[in-house]
Amino acid sequence: MRSFLSTAASAAWAGSLLALHAAGSPAPIHARDGVTTLSSSELAGLAPYTQFARAAYCDPSKTSNWSCGEACSANSGFQPALTGGDGDGTQYYYVGYWPSQNAVVVAHQGTDPTQLLSDETDIDIPMTSLDGSLFPGVPSGVLVHEGFANEQALTASSILATTKSLISSKGATSVITVGHSLGGALAELDALFFTLNLPSSIHVKSVTYGTPRVGNPTYASFFDGKVPDFQRVNNMKDPIPIVPGRFLGFQHPHGEVHIVSAGDAVACPGDDDATDAQCTIQTVPNIADGNILDHLGPYEGIYIGTVFCY
């Protein structure tokens, strides 16, 4: 299970992805049955979170002083407080204060999409119960991906301590978790973790990108009830959000936002059962119909991955 924690995509990905990025007119926004079309302002409002997720791929030596290039410049007022990880055994991560939102932001690095896809389509993916000492009060029927749970546990205590310290010293009123790919799975678990470990007066928000499924239907239902402010953004034909398969007992929680094309995205209802043709389940019914290049972007003009950390 550790192979999905290896080094992220090589520079060859950059050439392939940038070759695909061509300017064009946004698709027209129009009404659809069963989904809600995001307005241009709602799409633009995702950009800061996208850049935070992008920054998580940068070495801690750059995020520690917030000098990671475009991703850091896009959220220039951010104040990092904790950085870490080695990009292998422990994904890069950072915690800091976002003054404009009076929020603590917690972000985790993703991984090489080809390796993640390979691992998550493996038929032998164990689920496990969440650690009750980290997730107090979690029901016994909640089961999650063992690899994701183990990775989240590596940094949970130190991240929680720093988050509490920032809430106390800055008067922050919310915590925002972000991540892409594997980092999105960790951010999803972090959102539940914070909800169960922080006072109810602290609002928990989570925005993730290209996130694989994390747990079983009981987990999804429990998450829905605890973290209502959650968006999981899927890009076009990215296959990562459909793994591990539902036939293995996995199910996404609510919050799907599907980018149909540049300038055109919809919010899909339900958890993992949106039947509208514009949502991921219908757009990518199986791996063969996916395009792994879509995993890294563009998310409204922003690519995410190690090769885009500059």
For 71-83, write each residue's pLDDT tens digit. Answer: 999 999 999 999 9
Residue range(s) defining the domain that contains residue 173:
2-308
- Reply yes or no on whether the pLDDT at 256 is more than 80: yes
**What is the pLDDT confidence band of residue 5, given thresholds at 50, 70 and 90?**
very low
> What's the whole-model pTM score?
0.88
Give per-residue pLDDT as tens, 204-223: 999 999 999 999 999 999 99
**Number of structural domains in the chain:** 1
**What is the pLDDT confidence band of residue 29, given thresholds at 50, 70 and 90?**
very low
The reported pLDDT for the residue numbered 123 is 58
CATH number of the domain enclosing 26? 3.40.50.1820
Q: Mind giving me the DSSP string for the chain?
A: -GGGGS----HHHHHHHHHH----PPPPP---SSSEEPPHHHHHHTHHHHHHHHHTTS-HHHHTTT--THHHHHTTT-EEEEEE--SSSS--EEEEEEGGGTEEEEEE----HHHHHHHHT-S---EEEPPTTTSTT--TT-EEEHHHHHHHHHHHHHHHHHHHHHHHHH---EEEEEEETHHHHHHHHHHHHHHHHS-TTSEEEEEEESPPP-B-HHHHHHHHHH--SEEEEEETT-SGGG-S-GGGT-B--S-EEEEEETTEEEEPPSSS---STTSHHHH-SSGGG--GGGGG--BTTB--SGGG--
